[in-house]
Structures are given as C-alpha cells and as structure tokens.
Amino acid sequence: MKGVMIQGTASDVGKSLIVTALCRMFANEGKKVVPFKSQNMSNNSYVTRDGKEIGRAQGIQAEAAKIEATVWMNPILLKPRSNQDSEIVYLGKSLKTLSGRGYRETFYEKGLDVIKKSLDRLSNEFELVVIEGAGSPVEINLKDRELVNMKVAELADVPVVLVADIDRGGVFASIVGTLELLEPEERQRVAGVIINKFRGDISLFEDGIDWLEKKTGIPVIGVLPYVENHMIDGEDSLSIDNHFSTRKKGTLDIAVIQLPFISNYSDLEPFLYEEDVSIRWVKHASDFGQPDAVIIPGTKSTMNDLKSIKDRKLDVLIQNHIENGGYIVGVCGGYQILGNEIIDEAGLDTGIPNRKEQGLGWIPATTIFYEEKETVRSAGVYHEHTGLSPDRKVEGFEIHLGKTILHKESCSFLLLENGNEEGYYGRNGQIIGTYLHHLFHNDDWRNTWLNLIRKRKGLHTKETTCIKEYKDKRYDDIAARMKEHLNVELLNDIIIKWCQK
C-alpha cells in the first residue's frame, strides 16, 4: 500500500489538522488521496451521504481531499456515553455499548478484521492513503490489543511520521521517550519527525533539530507554525475548552452551555466566521452573565446532562434569560432538554427502563427514547407557520435516540423533504428546538437568526456571510502553509521508497 501514517507523542498534538492539510496538499498535486483512521473516540461525528456515522475529523479530511466521505475511512467510532462506557459504531451503524474492558476483551478480532477490509478497499480505490493514529503509540497498558497506531501501520505496511507538540513543552523528551518505548521493529518504521505548533523564530531551533537528528537517527521533515483560528472542525475532547478562546469579543454575545457529554460541538463553529459575534462556553453559573442568546448543544447522555444543568443552577439562569426576552436554541439533546418530559423507555440513556425526568419546560413536548437510533441527512424548508421565507432550503444531519412529540397547537420549525415536520419554533423565534445538526452551517438561516437578535439589540442587520467558500479556501491556505514549512520532497521520497521495499 502506498501511504504514510501520522502518529503523535500524545493526544491533541495536531495529527488531525496535519492529515487534513496533507490530504489537500496531495489533492492539489493531482493525487487521488484518501484519509483513514481505524478507530476514533469522539462524540463529534459526521454523517455520510448514505446516512452512516463516522468521526468528524475523517469527514473533514475527505472534504480536504475533494472526495466523498465513506465508512471505510473510519470503520470504528467509539462515542463515550459515560466515564466507563462507549457506544460502538461499526461501519457507520450503532452496534452495542461496552465498557473499556469489555471492548478490549471481546472486540479486538472483529476490529482487526474490519480494519483489514477497509485498508484493502481504500488501497484498491485510491492512489495514496494518509492514515491518522490516536493518542500515543506507547501506552504500555494498551499496546497488546491496540487498533489505532503501530498495529495499523503494520497492517497497511506504511512508514510512520511522528508528530510532537512543542507548544506544550518537553518536546525533546516526548520524542525520544516515545521512540525508546517502541519495540525495535516499530521504531524502524518511524521514518520522520514533525515538530508542530512552533512559535517565534525558527532559526533559534536549528540546534534542537540537529540534536534530535543525531540522537535519534531520524530526520526532522518539518517544523510547523502554530496556526491560530485554523477553522478546521475539532475532534479531541482536549480541544473543547480552548476552542473559542482566541475569538475576539463581538457585539453579539452567545453563551453555549458546556455539557459533560457534549457531542457535535462543530455545530457552533460557523459563528467564528461572524465578525460581530462573540461565542463562549458556560461551565458554571458564574460564567453565565447576560448573553443575547443561549445554545444548548447536543449530548451523548441527555438525562445526565439535564441533571448537570440543574445541579449547576443553570436552569434558573436560563429561565430568567428567556423571561427577559433572550433567545435560546436547543440542538438534538439540547432540544430534548428544553422539553417538558423525557422518558427513557428502553433504558438506553440511563440504564433504567421507563425512567422519567422533567425537562426545563420551555418547549411543549415529550421525548421518548426507543432502541432504534436515527442517523440520516435531512433537508427541508421553514414551516409556513414560522412566518419565515418558505423557499429557503435548510439542510443538515440527525444523530439521535428517541422521538420528540410536540403537544397540540405547537409550531414546528421545519417541513422536511420527506413530508415530516421537524423541531419547534416559538415566540417568533425566541425559542427554537431541532434535531438538525449543522443548522448554523446554513448561511441563510444563521444570518436570519442573528439578525433577529441584532434587531432586538437595536443594531443594524447584516448581509449573509458565506462560509463554505471561505472554509474551502482555508484548506488551501493551511496546505500551502504546511508545504512552506515541510520538506515535501523528503516526505514523498519516504513514501515511495517504503512502497518499493
């Protein structure tokens, strides 16, 4: 197989961004390139065109590679449901929920099999495979049954480039320590090192590069700069706290309730493109302030996160916010939380069949959790009763357990192409609930909603910001920036020579 694997000395060192940039760089060179990650652990997911669920990062990497995302790019997705258990999404479909121990003891052979099948399929369809690892390849307690790093490099038989994050400190120890802990045959597979997130004058690091190459015998093929506001959707939970930290303060203040089991926080990223919008996380009651709008995002455990909102007394602050005319949107689990009641009929969310919980009570609806999971791309138009322009298309994707039933005489938000009504639209848009992830990626809707808030504040309305073109340009910009700081000739040489061995 012709390809390369990007592994890291730790989580959040920038593997996903580097793979994304490499996919666009190779695609721009005319190569038929495909991303791959054998096993992903993330609640930030992506729905393929055929309604399958994969990790968000691989969906983004496919976009960067200018190809359609498929389940073969990420055959195993682990979605944490608690501190102990994760939902296993296998080839895009929910399979079962297992503990970490249960997964390691019962799933290893099945995982190996689907990884082999995926690699074979991709190698037959594409010219070049760029593989992403996970965490560190030297987690000693996990190495004997790992499915994400050196075992995958062995199955694909590709060289490995090791990425280290200099911004967090200890870069020399992290590289040398990782190499020392690898088995001799694994270490021989490491053909290059990338130093990521460098700030300042690169000439001051030349002695460090020389030392590393002499110490390890492995070339440093690039020292990549720290990329601020790269606008590429995040994946790792480590990135959530700082995801909006570099965003300048705008005149519109949007507060996002940070949930312990938050999922698909990529729903929020379009606001980074709006110059007058400030978006921030709310962890505690003291963080709430006086926002113009509140968003309750998706969650992998609605009842646990509803309890978290109540325990932190955020329900009282949300009530005051709405009573004072503030806007609020609940997406997926946030939609369920805003309703009157949640019934866990199948015991899938809590483990207790028929458990009931009172929601925040702002949407007249009851949610019932059934066993069947809904995963689908959806599109529609604004419901006629909203008073919004009925000819504007809205599209996104749904990933949820359960069904939300509106009480009589409630106004739905959307009329879907399949004829179903979806979501809730109340108080002229002040309160909205929907299952549609990536709602705010629709430029027209995002601008319509923000203009409602601007008018309430006595501000001028604004023209629509088109983020799709800007985002595609960011792929090109990041790829060009990487190419500037990467020894591309050496990287290509590593890939070709390994393939010829």
Catalytic residues: 332, 437
Give the closest residue to 22 by CA, choosing from 498, 469, 494: 494
Q: Find the angle CA(142)-CA(196)-CA(9) to the nearest 5 degrees.
A: 15
The sign one gets for the Cα dihedral 125, 126, 127, 130 is negative
| Residue labelled with tokens 């390139």 | 33
- What is the distance, to the nearest Å, from the Cα of residue 219 to the centroid of all Cα atoms in its chain? 32
Give the max Cα distance, the chain. 74
Give the closest residue to 411 by CA, choosing from 391, 386, 446, 441: 386
**Taking a C-beta distance cutoff of 8 angstroms, is the pair 438, 400 a contact?**
no
Query: What is the three-class DSSP state of 234?
Result: coil
**Taking a C-beta distance cutoff of 8 angstroms, is the pair 401, 374 a contact?**
yes
Give the Cα separation of 74 and 117 in Å (integer): 12
Residues 6+ apart with CB under 8 A from 410: 363, 364, 365, 424, 426
A 10 A CB-CB count for 304 gives: 18
Query: What is the three-class DSSP state of 145?
Result: helix
Rounded to the nearest 5 percent, the helix, strand and coil shares of the chain are 40, 30, 35
DSSP per position, 85-140? EEEEEETTEEEEEEEHHHHHHHSHHHHHHHHHHHHHHHHHH-SEEEEE--S-TT-T
**Taking a C-beta distance cutoff of 8 angstroms, is the pair 123, 129 a contact?**
yes
**Taking a C-beta distance cutoff of 8 angstroms, is the pair 262, 222 a contact?**
no
**Taking a C-beta distance cutoff of 8 angstroms, is the pair 361, 340 a contact?**
yes
Buried b (16+ CB within 10 A) or exposed e, 431-446: bbbbbbbbbbbbbebb
